[in-house]
Amino acid sequence: MDLNLREIRPYGDSLSDGAMQLSFTLPLPTGPLAKEAALRLARKMGFAEADVVHMADLGEGFSFFVVYGKTRLFIDATDITVTAVKTDVWDRATCDEKIRELFGRKLKIVGACIGEDAHTVGIDAIMNMKGYAGHYGLERFAMIDAFNLGAQVEPETLLARAREKDVDAILVSQVVTQRDAHLQNLTRFVELTEAAGLRDRFVLVAGGPRLDHKLALELGFDAGFGRGTFAEHVASFVIHHLVQKRSMGSEG
């Protein structure tokens, strides 16, 4: 395949043809006028060969559209640097095997969604036995003791439980980002941990739909995970990080 990484365009029918699918809603009743408005909008956005392939009545004067079109824009993929978790991702059985072999004991992990944030589904997806989208959670790992404290947990309570249980890693979930609540809560947690002189004792992992590794590092965590994360991503990172800490002589 002759691919020019300096000019990456979307792929539709043929390589680099720029074909894209766009979906949106307009506050117009379904009909020829709404369809023409959708087409004009797509053309105004710079799409060539724009075509409304789906129009649906949403009721009360609203219409939903799917439009195909071609963009001439491209991205230079050689000019992009990203901050992402770089460790290998092992499946559950391999994680258990590695823990047995590298630590000779179970790892302990505590997690919670902190502050006023009541969204439990994300932290449950990572920690609970049944997991998420066919990927079992940390409770299912034979070599991990997982303690899920749920949602609306005060940062102080999470840190206290982490000390009590003498855990290896702390998982913090934040879903609500209104008025930057996630930034405040995550910062507060790191500050509490530092003030207690415990920052080096735990692997700190943050997660949520609007979090990424770069932001988590900036906030003082060791890693950050966003949408589409499974328990094995987190377990693999924790194992790698503990091994790295040990080799730097800062563990135990």
Hey, what amino acid is at 20?
Answer: M
* Cβ neighbours of 175 (radius 10 Å): 20
| Closest-approach residue to ligand B12 (CB) | 207
Q: Which of 106, 108, 130, 165 is catalytic?
A: 130
The CB-of-26 to ligand B12 minimum distance in angstroms stands at 19
Pick 36 or 116: Cβ nearer ligand B12:
116
The CB-of-160 to ligand B12 minimum distance in angstroms stands at 18
Cα angle value 181/210/155 (rounded, 5°): 40
The CB-of-197 to ligand B12 minimum distance in angstroms stands at 23
Confirm whether 98 is a catalytic residue. Answer: no
The CB-of-133 to ligand B12 minimum distance in angstroms stands at 7
Pick 176 or 215: Cβ nearer ligand B12:
176
Q: In what order do the strands lie in the sheet with 223-225?
A: 144-148, 107-113, 169-173, 203-207, 223-225
What are the phi and psi torsion angles at 15 (to 5°)?
A: -55, 130
Cα separations in angstroms, 249 against 104, 190, 237: 18, 22, 18
The CB-of-47 to ligand B12 minimum distance in angstroms stands at 26
Pick 18 or 115: Cβ nearer ligand B12:
115
Pick 117 or 222: Cβ nearer ligand B12:
117
CA–CA dist 195, 159 (Å, integer): 11
Pick 47 or 141: Cβ nearer ligand B12:
141
CA–CA dist 56, 81 (Å, integer): 40
CA–CA dist 177, 208 (Å, integer): 10
Contact footprint for ligand B12 (CB under 6 A):
111, 116-123, 125-126, 132, 171-173, 175-178, 205, 207-209, 225-229, 234
Alpha helices (runs of H) in the chain, residue ranges in sequence order:
32-44, 92-103, 121-127, 155-165, 181-195, 213-218, 231-247
Q: Which residues are catalytic?
A: 130
